[in-house]
Amino acid sequence: MERTLLIIKPDAVQRGLIGKVISRFEEKGLKIAGLKLMKLVREKAEELYAPHKGKPFFEPTVNFMTSSPLVAMVLEGRMAINLVRTIIGATRPEEGSPGTIRGDFSTSVQLNIVHASDSIENAERELAIFFDKNEILDYSIISEIWNGNKMEAGVRT
């Protein structure tokens, strides 16, 4: 199973969209293995966006991400990274397809509701910024049993 980071950004928290965003992933069958409502400190925001240091949007992004509470989540499932990226949609609101989180809710490139890891390497790096290993839970959900090999899961039909 793959794990990835999803951040519900300050704009979504301020607009009361936490539940709507989370429900998209739960309805798709992804497991929430970690969840925090938090105020991001500047050092953590700079670490998260370190690959973009020196770009014109770096400072405004760090300021925005530290301006108000956000929600950090660990999502887990088969091909979780690509699945989450599909559910969130394009970064630019004008490119966001209806039915995606950004297509339905974003208002600008910065106010685009969510951040999600884009690769296994970035997921590992970004998860470590927000979660200690003991804060990520290991448990099974029914879709893991029925979507996988039933015999392996000890279920006979």
Give burial (CB, 10 Å; 0-12/13-18/19+) of 133.
exposed
- pLDDT tens track for 120-153: 999 999 999 999 999 999 998 887 777 665 444 4
The single residue of 8, 115, 117, 131 carrying the catalytic annotation is 115
Domain 2-147 falls under CATH 3.30.70.141: yes
45 C-beta neighbours (distance < 10 Å), count: 20
Task: Give residue for tokens 């301006």.
Answer: 67
149 C-beta neighbours (distance < 10 Å), count: 8
pTM value surpassing 0.85: yes
C-alpha separations of 86 from 50, 79, 81, 93, 143 in Å: 24, 11, 9, 14, 19
What are the sequence ranges of the domains in the chain?
Answer: 2-147
Residue 52 annotated to the active site = no
In the chain, what percentage of residues exceed pLDDT 90? 82
pLDDT at position 155 over 70: no
Closest CA to 7 of 53, 18, 31: 18
- pLDDT tens track for 51-105: 999 999 999 999 999 999 999 999 999 999 999 999 999 998 888 899 999 999 9
